[in-house]
Amino acid sequence: MSLQAAAPRLILASQSGVRAGLLREAGLVFEALPARIDEAAIKQGAWAEKARADDTALLLADMKAQRLARSMPEALVIGADQLLVCEGVWFDKPEDVDAAAAQLRALRGKAHVLVTAVVCWLGGQRVWHHVTRPKLTMRTFSEGFLAEYLAREGEAVCASVGAYRLEGMGMHLFERIEGEHAAILGLPMMALLEFLRQHKAVLG
């Protein structure tokens, strides 16, 4: 017997291995498809218009899901996005290890928020959305630690908006973490699973 209903089929509008892993670990059967949008341009426009980080993360998640949902209305399409905000500044994935080092120095000894949004589309329309704001406080680590951390993690630091993998060596960067672990990784699973239960997509 499966926890998941036969319909609707689930589509993850993302190529994120971490998000796919979270769904897989929850026992969900789904298909992950790329949803190509110009994230950089959308973020730049939102920043210029002084948009709220919550609204921008939600817009990005919505556009990803909508991109696929229009052509497959019978599927439940999940879109997600995440913005890192520290002292009013938005951070993106670093372009290289040097940029990651600069970003980690900027976050060192400070608290930042991971504005994490998820939306679901079904039947050609958005049927649900959720935004959560995990808060993480970095410790005041030494330059020696930073050099060793970057040497060990290598290019992996460029795959995360925070230049860290909390599921790996990045745990050493923090003194305090508040919020759901899955949401920090990029997908608020508790809220998403509750939505899926309410819509009979998984057993209640």
Other Cβ atoms closer than 10 A to 202: 20
Is residue 92 among the annotated active site residues? no
Contacts of 10 (CB under 8 A, 6+ apart): 4, 23, 28, 29, 30, 31, 75, 76, 78, 201
DSSP state of 156: G
Query: Residue 191 to residues 40, 120, 163: CA-CA distances in angstroms?
Result: 27, 12, 26
Contact 37, 67 (CB under 8 A): yes
- What does the alpha-carbon distance between residue 68 and residue 171 come to, in Å, rounded to a whole number? 34
Catalytic residue among 38, 54, 81, 98: 81
First to last CA, the chain: 14
Catalytic residues: 81
